[in-house]
Amino acid sequence: MYVKTIRIKNFRNHQETQIKFEEKINILEGENAQGKSSILEAIYFLATSRSFRNSRIKDLIQIGNEGFFIHGVINDEVEDINVKVYYSNKQRKISFNNSKLTSFLSLIGKIKVLIFAAEDIELVKGDAKGRRKFLDIHLSLMSEEYFFCLKQYKKILKQRNKILKEEKRGDKKIGLLTEQIAEYGTKIVEKRKEIVRKLNVVAKSMQKKLSKDKEELEIRYLSPLKGETKQEIREGYLRKLRETFKNDLRYHTTSIGPHKDDIDFLINNKKAKNFASEGQKRSIVLSLKLAEYKVMEEATEKGAIILVDDVLNELDEERMKAFYPLLHGGKQVILTCTKNSKIWEYVNKGVRYKVREGKVEDADEIQQTKRN
């Protein structure tokens, strides 16, 4: 799967930009705040209906305009996919191969992307919400069933919490919602545990290489819902919901479920968030994201579009060596960098686009192994 062309209008600082990409390595070069990352954001939006920078959708509209437009042509190795999105405060239009879609969420899973960004460090340093979102995006891109369960779970959770606030509650209704929330929540927890096990195996191996066998990384899924099989998780889930019901009534909210779970990163049996150095945290993130790429590659024959937002300059030589196979693995890579980035020491083929003040200059071939 690869991006053939992307056209964006009134998006961030781009008034109107159109780029034709190559199937392999594409480098967007420019100084900071020129609009390089915005191009990656537009591609990411088509795949996930959100920005990877935690921005609100309305913040993506160029200042002084009513709305933004994105048109992407993506080849899925069988045919070209046409995706068009228009968003304003008053109107939303989405089309997929000329068929109208009713919601941005309908786009999720149709285009596979993987993002490497500076914000990834928050997966180790930040709060649990960001880590849950990481799992949910990955699993939703890979599985329509998971995304459906996630939507249903959020809908039922909202309904249950609303009823918990009401003085006159029907026991039958709250009982039905409790059964439903356990049904969908069980499927979510089961899939999350499965993907964390897979990520742990690959990331553990990557971390050993990066640290020259000095560091043992372990990724754990944290949940009070024990068990590995669907039946074990569901039975434990219903038991916990019964145990916490009085507390839920008191605080008018559901206190247990996948919306409260977390991931933990351990380095040599110590909690990375509290004890790891900045360098170790960056290594954990790189190991995790490379593991995500490996797991995603194994799960889909069409592969994923790889987006890299100005993070390679932060990698030391050992980490860059770990990243090198991804750059030259045959998949499409679209990355951003500055003129003096050390990425030029590792790239000897591909296409460079110069980005300046929201405009993209004509592409030119990269023909050197190191740039002066």
Query: Which CATH number belongs to the domain containing residue 62 in this structure?
Result: 3.40.50.300
The two three-digit tokens of residue 272, written as one number? 């990375």
pLDDT bracket for residue 369 (50, 70, 90): very low
Region 207-213 average pLDDT: 89
State the chain's mean pLDDT as an integer: 90
Would you say residue 171 lies in a domain?
no
* 80-88: strand order across its sheet: 14-20, 2-11, 67-75, 80-88, 92-96, 99-101
Would you say residue 16 lies in a domain?
yes
Q: Are 112 and 300 in contact (CB under 8 A)?
A: yes
Would you say residue 277 lies in a domain?
no
Quick check: 372 pLDDT over 50?
Answer: no
The percent of residues in the chain predicted with pLDDT above 70, rounded, is: 98
Q: Encode pLDDT of 123-148 as tens digits.
A: 999 999 999 999 999 999 999 999 99
Q: Which domain holds residue 96?
A: 1-112+302-372
The two three-digit tokens of residue 119, written as one number? 């914000």
Would you say residue 358 lies in a domain?
yes
Would you say residue 66 lies in a domain?
yes
Q: Encode pLDDT of 178-194 as tens digits.
A: 999 999 999 999 999 99
Q: Encode pLDDT of 24-81 as tens digits.
A: 899 999 998 899 999 999 999 999 999 998 778 999 999 999 999 999 999 988 899 9
Quick check: 176 pLDDT over 90?
Answer: yes
Quick check: 371 pLDDT over 50?
Answer: no
Report in angstroms the alpha-carbon separations of 143 from 3, 21, 137, 277, 348.
21, 27, 10, 35, 36
Total domains in the fold of the chain: 1
Extended strands (E) in 257-363: 262-267, 270-271, 305-309, 333-337, 351-356, 359-360
Would you say residue 56 lies in a domain?
yes
Q: Encode pLDDT of 220-267 as tens digits.
A: 999 999 888 899 999 999 999 999 999 999 999 999 999 999 999 999
The percent of residues in the chain predicted with pLDDT above 90, rounded, is: 69
Q: Are 50 and 57 in contact (CB under 8 A)?
A: yes
The two three-digit tokens of residue 78, written as one number? 């069988």
Q: Give pairs for 277-285: CB < 8 Å, separation 24+.
A: 279/316, 280/215, 281/121, 281/124, 281/125, 282/121, 282/314, 282/315, 282/319, 283/207, 283/210, 283/211, 283/215, 283/319, 284/124, 284/203, 284/207, 284/217, 285/120, 285/121, 285/123, 285/124
pLDDT bracket for residue 367 (50, 70, 90): low
Would you say residue 354 lies in a domain?
yes
Would you say residue 68 lies in a domain?
yes
